[in-house]
Amino acid sequence: MSQSPPDLVSAEGRAAWRAELRSIMPWTRLAGLALVAAGAFGLLWTQHLGAQMASPRGLISLALLVIGWGLLAVVIIKRTAHQRRRLSGV
Protein backbone atom coordinates (compact mmCIF):
# COMPACT_ATOMS: atom_id res chain seq x y z
CA MET A 1 0.00 0.00 0.00
CA SER A 2 1.55 3.23 -1.15
CA GLN A 3 0.82 6.43 0.73
CA SER A 4 1.24 9.81 -0.86
CA PRO A 5 3.82 12.14 0.65
CA PRO A 6 2.43 14.50 3.29
CA ASP A 7 1.28 18.00 2.43
CA LEU A 8 3.87 20.21 4.10
CA VAL A 9 2.88 23.39 2.28
CA SER A 10 -0.32 24.22 4.15
CA ALA A 11 -0.59 24.78 7.89
CA GLU A 12 -3.23 22.05 8.16
CA GLY A 13 -0.97 19.59 6.35
CA ARG A 14 1.97 20.35 8.65
CA ALA A 15 -0.27 19.96 11.72
CA ALA A 16 -1.51 16.60 10.41
CA TRP A 17 2.09 15.51 9.74
CA ARG A 18 3.16 16.42 13.28
CA ALA A 19 0.16 14.56 14.70
CA GLU A 20 1.01 11.53 12.57
CA LEU A 21 4.62 11.51 13.80
CA ARG A 22 3.49 11.93 17.42
CA SER A 23 1.14 8.96 17.04
CA ILE A 24 4.04 6.55 16.46
CA MET A 25 4.64 4.48 19.63
CA PRO A 26 3.17 7.05 22.06
CA TRP A 27 3.13 4.72 25.09
CA THR A 28 6.72 3.65 24.53
CA ARG A 29 7.79 7.29 24.29
CA LEU A 30 5.88 8.15 27.46
CA ALA A 31 7.37 5.16 29.31
CA GLY A 32 10.87 6.17 28.20
CA LEU A 33 10.39 9.73 29.40
CA ALA A 34 8.99 8.52 32.72
CA LEU A 35 11.93 6.15 33.25
CA VAL A 36 14.46 8.86 32.42
CA ALA A 37 12.75 11.26 34.83
CA ALA A 38 12.59 8.61 37.57
CA GLY A 39 16.24 7.71 37.05
CA ALA A 40 17.35 11.35 37.16
CA PHE A 41 15.29 11.94 40.31
CA GLY A 42 16.78 8.80 41.84
CA LEU A 43 20.31 9.96 41.12
CA LEU A 44 19.61 13.37 42.62
CA TRP A 45 18.02 11.76 45.67
CA THR A 46 20.98 9.38 46.04
CA GLN A 47 23.37 12.31 45.95
CA HIS A 48 21.21 14.25 48.40
CA LEU A 49 21.32 11.35 50.87
CA GLY A 50 25.09 11.20 50.55
CA ALA A 51 25.11 7.64 49.24
CA GLN A 52 27.61 6.40 46.69
CA MET A 53 26.61 5.81 43.08
CA ALA A 54 27.59 2.15 43.57
CA SER A 55 24.85 1.79 46.20
CA PRO A 56 21.73 -0.17 45.22
CA ARG A 57 19.70 3.04 44.89
CA GLY A 58 22.33 4.58 42.61
CA LEU A 59 22.60 1.48 40.44
CA ILE A 60 18.83 1.19 40.08
CA SER A 61 18.67 4.85 39.10
CA LEU A 62 21.36 4.36 36.48
CA ALA A 63 19.53 1.29 35.16
CA LEU A 64 16.32 3.32 34.86
CA LEU A 65 18.19 5.99 32.89
CA VAL A 66 19.73 3.44 30.53
CA ILE A 67 16.43 1.62 29.93
CA GLY A 68 14.55 4.91 29.45
CA TRP A 69 17.05 6.27 26.94
CA GLY A 70 17.02 2.91 25.17
CA LEU A 71 13.24 3.11 24.77
CA LEU A 72 13.49 6.66 23.48
CA ALA A 73 16.17 5.59 20.98
CA VAL A 74 13.86 2.85 19.67
CA VAL A 75 11.05 5.38 19.23
CA ILE A 76 13.36 7.79 17.38
CA ILE A 77 14.56 5.03 15.04
CA LYS A 78 11.00 3.86 14.31
CA ARG A 79 9.78 7.41 13.74
CA THR A 80 12.69 8.18 11.40
CA ALA A 81 12.02 5.00 9.41
CA HIS A 82 8.34 5.92 9.12
CA GLN A 83 9.23 9.46 8.01
CA ARG A 84 11.61 8.19 5.33
CA ARG A 85 9.00 5.76 4.01
CA ARG A 86 6.31 8.44 3.88
CA LEU A 87 8.49 11.11 2.27
CA SER A 88 9.73 8.68 -0.38
CA GLY A 89 6.15 7.68 -1.20
CA VAL A 90 6.71 3.96 -0.62
Q: Stretch 17-43: mean pLDDT, rounded?
A: 92
Stronger pLDDT, 32 or 13, i.e. the higher one: 32
Quick check: is 52 in a domain?
yes
Quick check: is 76 in a domain?
yes
Quick check: is 40 in a domain?
yes
Give CB contacts under 8 A, 24+ apart, made by 69-72.
69/32, 69/36, 70/32, 71/28, 71/29, 71/31, 71/32, 71/35, 72/29, 72/32, 72/33, 72/36
44 half-sphere exposure, CB direction, 13 A CA radius: 6
Quick check: is 44 in a domain?
yes
Quick check: is 3 in a domain?
no
Note down the domain range covering 56: 26-88
In total, how many domains does the chain have?
1
Quick check: is 47 in a domain?
yes
Per residue in 46-73, pLDDT (tens digit) is 888 887 777 888 899 999 999 999 999 9
pTM over 0.85: no
